[in-house]
Amino acid sequence: MRLEKIVNFNRYPIHEPNSSIIKKLVKKCKQELDQFSCSTIPGFILPKSLKIMNEELEKQIHQVYMSKESINPYLNSKDEPLLNKDHPKRIFSKRDNGYLNSDLFKKDSEMKYLYEQDELLKFVSACVGISPIYRWADPLACHAYNIMKPGGVLPWHFDSCEFTLSIMLQKPEQGGIFEYCPDIRESGNEKFEEVKKVLNGNRERVRQLELEPGDLQIFKGRFALHRVTKVEGNRSRYLAIPAFVLDPWRVNTPEHSRAIYGKVLPIHHERNVKRSDGLID
Ligand SMILES: [Fe+2]
């Protein structure tokens, strides 16, 4: 079984969801996700598998799309001049960040394989306490590798998928710290005033998380504002970002896909409809 060479089954036997170890872990993750929108599982990926993922990325590093476009928290780069000048939709920050898009992954990719296993899907579903959840239909974004080179930043934003996993592949020498504000918006309520406070530097709601290589983070990225601080030193930060969603049909908007992943496919136009949760993408 290939999965047992990827996930540390000794510590985390996700193929045995009814085992007491997993039941206990799921309970802990759910509590953390309910309280902080975020939970971390240390050493989830085995070192050998981690090495394979790093090699996969480095082999295709020339195909990474680096996006340096300034974006607002809704991952949009278009201004809306009719809104007040200090509206969060009009606050744009510098972004310097890249993706190896999911459609470029080789057929036998380690990351792609892990993403497609029902054991992982069911485990995440149990941790977030929602069933069913689905793999993301977006062919570019569903299990991309994220790259932040020295000097790179990822400004405050919300994800368009509901549940984002992050697996740290390679840590930078310094910086590249994940910061997040749990539950800042909810379905039908953007809470622009709260978002504005954070964008203006208020730290009251901000939490920090330091991931080590092999750690798995489960995160409610659609509802928690988050960012990654500047990567310092000479080593790039590599992260795998497999994502799960509530709607198996929806994909990124064409504008989002263009700005972040560097291209738009027919599926992004065909499925460009208003979101059922009423939140801005
Ligand atoms: Fe994000």
Cα of 19 from ligand 1 centre, angstroms: 32
Buried residues in 91-103 as b, exposed as e (16+ CB within 10 A): bbeebbbbbbbbe
Q: Write out the H or E segment, with its range, that includes residue 174.
A: strand 174-175
Buried residues in 154-176 as b, exposed as e (16+ CB within 10 A): bbbbbbbbbbbbbbbbbbbeebb
Cα of 117 from ligand 1 centre, angstroms: 23
pLDDT computed for residue 202 by the predictor: 95
pLDDT band at 96 (very low <50, low <70, confident <90, very high): very high
pTM above 0.75, yes or no: yes
pLDDT computed for residue 277 by the predictor: 87
Instruction: Kindly state the average pLDDT of the residues 269-277.
Output: 90
Average pLDDT, the chain: 95
Model confidence over 148-202: pLDDT tens digits? 999 999 999 999 999 999 999 999 999 999 999 998 998 889 999 999 999 999 9
Judge if the upstream peptide bond of residue 132 is cis by omega within 30 degrees of 0. Answer: yes
Q: Is the pLDDT of residue 275 over 90?
A: no
Cα of 155 from ligand 1 centre, angstroms: 9
Cα of 225 from ligand 1 centre, angstroms: 8
Question: Helix or strand or coil: residue 94?
Answer: coil
Cα of 158 from ligand 1 centre, angstroms: 6
Neighbouring CB atoms inside 10 A of 43's CB total 16
pLDDT computed for residue 75 by the predictor: 85
- The one-character DSSP state at 1 is -
Range 127-133 contact pairs with CB under 8 angstroms and sequence separation of 24 or more: 127/26, 127/29, 127/30, 127/33, 127/39, 127/218, 128/30, 128/33, 128/163, 128/218, 128/220, 129/30, 129/33, 129/34, 130/246, 133/162, 133/163, 133/244, 133/245, 133/246
Bridge partner list, 164: 219, 243
Cα of 73 from ligand 1 centre, angstroms: 10
For residue 165, which phi and psi values (nearest 5 degrees)?
A: -100, 145
Measured over the CA atoms of residue 179, residue 185, residue 190 and residue 196, the dihedral's sign is negative
Measured over the CA atoms of residue 30, residue 240, residue 205 and residue 86, the dihedral's sign is negative
Percentage above 70 pLDDT, the chain = 100
Cα of 10 from ligand 1 centre, angstroms: 30
Q: Please state the separation of Cα 52 from the chain's center in Å.
A: 20
Q: Is the pLDDT of residue 77 over 90?
A: no
Model confidence over 32-41: pLDDT tens digits? 999 999 999 9
Cα of 87 from ligand 1 centre, angstroms: 20
Report d(CA 124, CA 9) in Å as an integer: 15
Decide if 180 contacts 38 (C-beta within 8 A). Answer: yes
pLDDT computed for residue 278 by the predictor: 84
Return residues with CB closer than 5 A to ligand 1 (ion). 159, 221
Decide if 47 contacts 169 (C-beta within 8 A). Answer: no
User: Please, is 152 exposed, middle or buried when counting C-beta atoms within 10 Å of its C-beta (0-12, 13-18, 19+)?
Assistant: buried
Cα of 229 from ligand 1 centre, angstroms: 12
Report d(CA 209, CA 228) in Å as an integer: 10
- The one-character DSSP state at 161 is S
Percentage above 90 pLDDT, the chain = 89
Instruction: Kindly state the average pLDDT of the residues 242-250.
Output: 96
Cα of 100 from ligand 1 centre, angstroms: 15
Report d(CA 257, CA 132) in Å as an integer: 25
Report d(CA 161, CA 159) in Å as an integer: 5
Instruction: Kindly state the average pLDDT of the residues 5-30.
Output: 98
pLDDT computed for residue 69 by the predictor: 86
Neighbouring CB atoms inside 10 A of 223's CB total 20
